[in-house]
Structure 1
Amino acid sequence: MYENKRLGFLFVLPFVLGVLMFKLFPFVMSFALSFTEYDVMNPPVWIGTENYEQMLTKDPLFGKSLGVTLFFVAMAVPLRVGFALFIAHVLNFKLRGINFFRSAFYLPSILGGSIAAAVLWRFLFAQHGLVNIVLGKLGLEPIAWLADEHYSIWTVILLFTWQFGSAMVIFLAALQNVPISLYEAAEIDGASKTQQFFRITVPLITPVIFFNLIMQMVHAFQEFNGPYMITEGGPLHSTYLLSLYIYDQSFKLFNLGYGAALSWVLFAIVGSLSALSFFTSKYWVFYAGEKDHK
């Protein structure tokens, strides 16, 4: 018995060491660095809460970046989750060749925020790209999607929405676990497909909807590759997410202390919104087996 426990511990040890070295240690160090002035070339100098004070009172770019980030999350997360649920519902029908379409719709998530995706997006939304060609055929004026501050954020939002594959797969698994007998009973009672979806399907998969909302919200706050490769935060900082601002402060300006403070503010925002989401979930998320559900 003792040998088995020791063997199990040895198997787990690499994972534990990895977490301590690459997760917990940087986590603690970043918090300590957020109270310092540190530029790599010189040792950290303790400055107390000056980084946070500067951020909140003397840094207009932080306010701009925060506003862009909140708008991006508010638009991109519902779009990705809603589109993923819609596609999963369509792919849940038993049709010939449906497995091919399930794989095809998951493909954008494999590309993710890669260089290939950025090149594709530039081709689609360039001044003479496919989207503007279609608009021209319809008799509409071309739009400077990547150069106009009013439209550039929407190209980033659409790129984030386009990568809906992971959420779609989770929704598809949830939809396939809804008992068919409930739909059969609803059809006997004369319920339409739309009524079945909103009265049966949606309530039963609310835990999965909630899970996807939380996960996609966290991903949206961490989004970096798409806006960095397509717009680099421009034009006029219209796509300058907090993740890009943290990167610029930390690895372009080497202001690691200020970058760490920005990271912790972002962490606090994500944590607060997640806690609020969990608090409000009791009013709309239905868990099987609950007797009292409001």
Structure 2
Amino acid sequence: MPDLWLPGAERHPLGDTAPTDTQYDPRVIWHITWDRNASAAKPADLVPFDTLVKYFTGGGKGAAPHLLWDPFTGRIAQFYPANSRAKSVVDTVGGTRTNRTGKVCLQVEILFFPHCRVNGKTYATVRDTPAKGLDRILTWARSWKVPDTWPMGTPMWTAHRDERTWETEGGHYGHSQVPENQHTDPGPMPQWPGSTSTPKPAPPTFPGRSAFGPGKSNASILLLGQQLVRRDYGKHYRVGPSRDWGEADRRNVADFQRAQGWTGSDADGYPGPETWRRLFT
């Protein structure tokens, strides 16, 4: 039998274990702690690892995962054994038993939030981190027969949930892909150690030209702004992107369009389908 406790992880057993639904294939759910809101213009220092350990063993034990992982140091804490459910995803009464689906349903909280600052450097996504210790987590997951696949695609900052896929396929899932949940984390993830390439996610669906422009406010504008910042086309933001369209959005999009060699109406700052595709690929 594989190890119930990840070798080398700090153990903080919470005790209130419960079985998983073993008729389903094994899986891992990835989250980020997202305990501070920051932006490219205003990064914030990463919350200390021990602060989160104290939270998950105290007032936050009702939302504790199996693992808390620091991708900057490789430090890992464990709160539940592999064969127990954890509690870090929403699980509504009478619905899909999201915390229990799988021979194992390993839940990993990554100590991270977008634009966190560590040793003076700012990190926009988990993919940008050193990902120290990831190989240990994946080796443990593989010992429980979790396949190295993303059944709903590699995570982006958008939600994509399919209950049939969730119930029929094992592998790795983002919090953004778990039924009954509303979160959009963990965002882009690192390349799996031992693999030769990172699977390239398909760009999110273009919402249509009508989603952008003066007076518009929606999640697509925020997604656009966040991607502009990741691609280093966010210099006109003073406080970071938001759901509300502004002149800074238009100017940043125009900068990106001009970088494609476009001029005139093709670089007017309003995203069309080709601007969207190039920005997200």
Q: TM-score, normalised by structure 1?
A: 0.27
Q: TM-score, normalised by structure 2?
A: 0.28
Structure number, greater radius of gyration: 1
